[in-house]
Amino acid sequence: MNGTVEQAVQTAFADEWGRIVATLIRRTGNWDLAEECAQEAFAQALVSWRRDGVPARPGAWLTTVAANRALDRIRRGARGAQLLEQLAHDPLAGTGHDGEREMIEDDRLRLMFTCCHPALALEARVALTLRTLTGLTTAEIARAFLVSEQTMAKRLTRARAKIAAAAIPYRVPPPELLVERTGGVLAVLYLLFNEGYLASSGEQPIRAALCAEAIRLARLLCELLPADSEASALLALMLLQHSRRDARVDSAGELVTLEHQDRGRWHRDEIAQASALLGAAGPLAGGPARAGHYRLQAEIALCHVQPRTDWVRVRDLYGLMLEASDSPVVALNHAVAVAMAGDLDAGIALVGELVQRDQLASYHLVHATHADLLRRRGELAAALPAYQRALELAPSPAERSLLRRRISELSGGPC
Amino acid sequence: MKYLQLICIDPQAAGTPEAAQAMAEHVEPWVRDKDARGVRILGKPLDDPANARTVRVRDGRTLISDGPFADTKEFIAGLDILDCESLDEAIEVAAEHPVSWFHAIELRPFAGELEIPAHLDDERLRQLLIPCIDGIPESDEVEQQLRLDIDAYRELVDARGVRVMGGPLAAASTATTVRVRDGKTLLSDGPFVETKEFMAGIDILSCESFDEALELAGAHPLARFHRVEVRRFVDL
C-alpha cells in the first residue's frame, strides 16, 4: 500500500511539479514562495494520501494544497493584506474555471520563457529551468554541474532576485519576439541535454536524468507550441541521440564509435518516434525558406541510424548547414561527410585546411578526424602525430582512452 | 518600473566616422520618439570623465581625486531615466538607441519607488552624484545606520532646493547590458564593466556651482565609508 502511495507521489511529482510552481508564480508573483509551497504540498500528499487514499485528480489536489499554503503564508506576512487584495482581484483566482485551465496550460510556457530569458546568465537559465520546471533539487543540479550546493543556491537566488527587481516579465513573448525567444529556450534545452549526453565528467545517474528531463521539457514545449517546427526537430534530434545511449559505452566504460555500436541495443521505439516527427515536418526546404538548424541536425542523425548511412545525403545536409553558418565544427563534419561519400582526397584536403585555422588548432576532434581519414587512405605515418596531438587535447577520459587505442593499433602494439 | 539607462562608451569603438554619423543622425529622433511614447522621463549627456571628481571623507577630512569612481577604459557618457512596463520594453528602447549599435547600454532598475517631480526643467539638470560602494560591505549595523543617514541627507538636500530627483539602484547583479550587432540584440547579465566598485544610486542636482555639488558629495553618508563621484551634465 505504502509503495503505491509513494509511487503515486513520485508520478505526480514528475507530471505536476512544473505546472504547480508555474501557476503559483503567476498567482503570487513570488518564485521562492511558489517553490516552497509546492514542496510542502508534496510532503503533505505523502501523509494525506496514505491516510485517505490517492485522490482522483492528484494534480488538482496538489495545486489546491499548495495554493492554500501560499495564501496562509501571505496572510501571515508583513505585506499580506496588500497582496491578498491583489489576489482577490484576480478574476481567475478560483479553480475549475475554464479560463483558469487555459491559464494553467500557458503557465508552464510562461515559466519556460521566463527561466530562459536572455537577460539572465546562461548558466542561471539552465539551473532555473531545472529547478522550477523539473523539480530537481538544488543539490542534484549542483552535482550535475560540478559546483558546490552553496554556489548553485546562490546562482538560483541571484537569478530569482533579478527577475523580480528588474521586472523580467512572466509571459509568453509577443509575436515579434516569439521566434527569437523560442530559439533561446531550445538552446537551453539542448545544452541541458548535451550536458547529460556528452558526459565529459560528473556522476552517471544525474547525467542520464539530465537527458531524460531535457527530452521531457522538449516534449512539453512541442505540446505547447505545436506550430514550432524547430521545437519538434529538437525533440527528434534528442530522441535519436538518446536512443543510442546503451550502445555508446561498452562494458568497460569505453566510448564506442557509431560504426562499431551494437545496433541491437538501440531503442527502436525512440528512433521510430523521431522519424515520425521528422516525417510530419514535410520535405526539406532549401533557399531562403531553408530548414532550421535543429531540423538539419535531426535529419543527419536519422541518416546515421539507418541500416546503411546514406553519406551523400549527409554530405548535402551538412552543405545546407554550412550555407547558414560558418561554424568550424559544421565545416569539419561536412569534410568528413565528403570523404565518406566517396571522395576521400577532397575530404582530407578540407580537414587539412581546418587544421590550419586558429579557432580549431586546439580542438581535439579536428586532429582526431584528420588522423582517421589519413589512416583510411593508408598513410599511417602521417596519422600517428595527428592522433598524438588529439590525445594531448582531448578533455574526457573516455575520449583519451579511445585515442590511445588507435595509437597503439597504429604503432603495432600497446603503447 | 523605472530604469536607469547608462550610455557606456568603449573608446576603442568611438571616433569611427560611421559611429559619429549614426549618433548625429539618430540620437535626436530617439529622444523625440521616446518622449512622445512616454517611456523617457529625462536624460542628458555628461561632461568628459576626465573632469569627474571623486569625493571621500576619512577621519573628518574631505579627499577629492580626479576621475570617475572606477578606473576603466569604458566610461559613462550620459544617462536617461526610463519608465517601462518590463525589462523587455526597456531592452527594446535601449536597442533603438544608436549607442547600443556601437558601444553598450546598461539598464539598471531603481530599487523601490522613484519620485518623479511634476515639472522637469532640463535647465535644472546640472550635476550628477553617484554614490558608489567600493566592494567592501560594512557590518549590518553600519549599513542600517547608513540607510537612515541617507534618508536624512536627502531631506537636507531637498530643503536646500537643489535635488531634482534620484534614488537608490537595485543591486549591480540585476543589471542588463544591451548591445546591438549585425541587427541582433545581444544581452549580457550584469553591468557593462565588472569592477569591484559599483553604483549604489544616483542623485541629480541643480547646484549653482560645481563646488557646491562637491560639498554635497562630501556630506553624503556614503562618502565616509565608500565614495561619491560628481559629474557635470552638458547640453546635447
What is the secondary structure of A212-243 as a DSSP string?
HHHHHHHHHHHHH-TT-HHHHHHHHHHHHHHT
Q: Domain of B82?
A: 2-232
* Cross-chain Cβ contact B187/A119 below 8 Å: yes
Residues of B in contact with A161 (CB under 8 A): 171, 173-174
* Residue A133 belongs to a domain: yes
Phi and psi (nearest 5°) for A325? -145, 145
CA distance A113 to chain B (A): 12
Co-location of A132 and A218 in the same domain: yes
Q: Is B109 on the interface with A (CB under 8 A)?
A: yes
pLDDT computed for residue A203 by the predictor = 57
Rounded Cα gap, residues A324 and B194, in angstroms: 34
Q: Give the domain CATH number at A41.
A: 1.10.1740
Q: Is A188 on the interface with B (CB under 8 A)?
A: no
- B217 versus A359: the higher-pLDDT residue is B217
The cell for A214 is 531535457
The separation between the first and the last C-alpha atoms of chain A, rounded to the nearest angstrom, is: 58
Per residue in A104-133, pLDDT (tens digit) is 667 889 999 999 999 999 999 999 999 999
* Residue A273 belongs to a domain: no
* Cross-chain Cβ contact A162/B174 below 8 Å: yes
Domain stops at, among A193, A224, A255: A224
Q: What is the mean pLDDT of chain A?
A: 87
The number of folded domains in chain B is 1
Rounded Cα gap, residues A388 and B223, in angstroms: 60
* Residue A334 belongs to a domain: no
The closest of B160, B156, B151 to B201, measured between CA atoms, is B151
Confidence of residue A90 (pLDDT cuts 50, 70, 90): low
- Residue B43 pLDDT exceeds 80: yes
Rounded Cα gap, residues A325 and A315, in angstroms: 15
Q: Is A118 on the interface with B (CB under 8 A)?
A: yes
Q: Is A177 on the interface with B (CB under 8 A)?
A: yes
CA distance B191 to chain A (A): 11
pLDDT computed for residue B226 by the predictor = 92
Distances (CA, A) of B28 to A6, A323, B87, B96: 65, 39, 23, 12
Identity of residue A128: L
Burial label for A252, CB within 10 Å (0-12, 13-18, 19+), is exposed
Distances (CA, A) of A143 to A103, A124, A209, B64: 34, 15, 12, 49
Phi-psi group of A308: left, alpha or beta (phi > 0 → left; psi -120 to 50 → alpha; rest → beta): beta
- Residue A201 pLDDT exceeds 90: no
Phi-psi group of B15: left, alpha or beta (phi > 0 → left; psi -120 to 50 → alpha; rest → beta): left
Q: Is A158 on the interface with B (CB under 8 A)?
A: yes
ipTM above 0.90, yes or no: yes
Q: Domain of A34?
A: 1-91
Identity of residue B169: L
* Residue A81 belongs to a domain: yes
CA distance A185 to chain B (A): 15
Identity of the residue in A118, A119, A165 whose CB atom sits nearest the CB atom of B170: A165
* Residue A111 belongs to a domain: no
Identity of the residue in A124, A158, A166 whose CB atom sits nearest the CB atom of B176: A166
Q: Give the domain CATH number at B130.
A: 3.30.70.1060
pLDDT computed for residue A100 by the predictor = 61
